[in-house]
Amino acid sequence: MTEWEYVMNSTEIEMLALVKLKEGDDKFPKFMGWMQSDEGMAERSKFAIPSKTIGTVTPDKNAVMFKVFVTDKDGMMNFVSGKNVAIKPIYDECIESVQLWDLSEVKL
């Protein structure tokens, strides 16, 4: 199944993650480097659709925010809480805290 077929056939929810990084100039590039690496992309693909993720960063690069299209909420919560084995080293080194919200569309 191609990624597009998977996206079209999966049930997804939208979530917003706000990640506050620890102090240090190296935390943002190290965190984002891992998130965009082959390992990070493969791990994120287990619970979300990385190609649909929308991210932004604060001007001081001390926090990042992601709108994530999630296919496995438990997997997402495991990942952002630092319990996921693959992200644990980066989490411990770079992440101070994470807030997570469920999103719902408001019809206009």
Q: Determine the pLDDT at residue 11.
A: 83
Categorize the per-residue pLDDT at 3 as very low, low, confident or very high, splitting at 50, 70 and 90.
low
pLDDT higher than 70, residue 8: no
pLDDT tens-place string over residues 38-96: 999 999 999 999 999 999 999 999 999 999 999 999 999 999 999 999 999 999 999 99
Domain ranges of the chain: 11-102
Q: How high does pLDDT run on average in the chain?
A: 92
Question: 100: part of which helix (H) or strand (E)?
Answer: strand 95-102
Q: Phi and psi at residue 94, in whole multiples of 5°? A: -115, -25
Tokens for 78? 């495991």
How many residues would you count in the chain? 108
Name the band, by pLDDT with cuts 50, 70 and 90, for residue 105.
confident
- What pLDDT does residue 1 have? 52
* Closest to 45 (Cα-Cα) out of 7, 85, 16: 7
Class of domain 11-102: alpha beta
**pLDDT for the residue numbered 6:** 53
Q: Which residue has the higher pLDDT, 22 or 105?
A: 22
Buried b (16+ CB within 10 A) or exposed e, 89-108: ebbeebbeeeebeeeeeeee
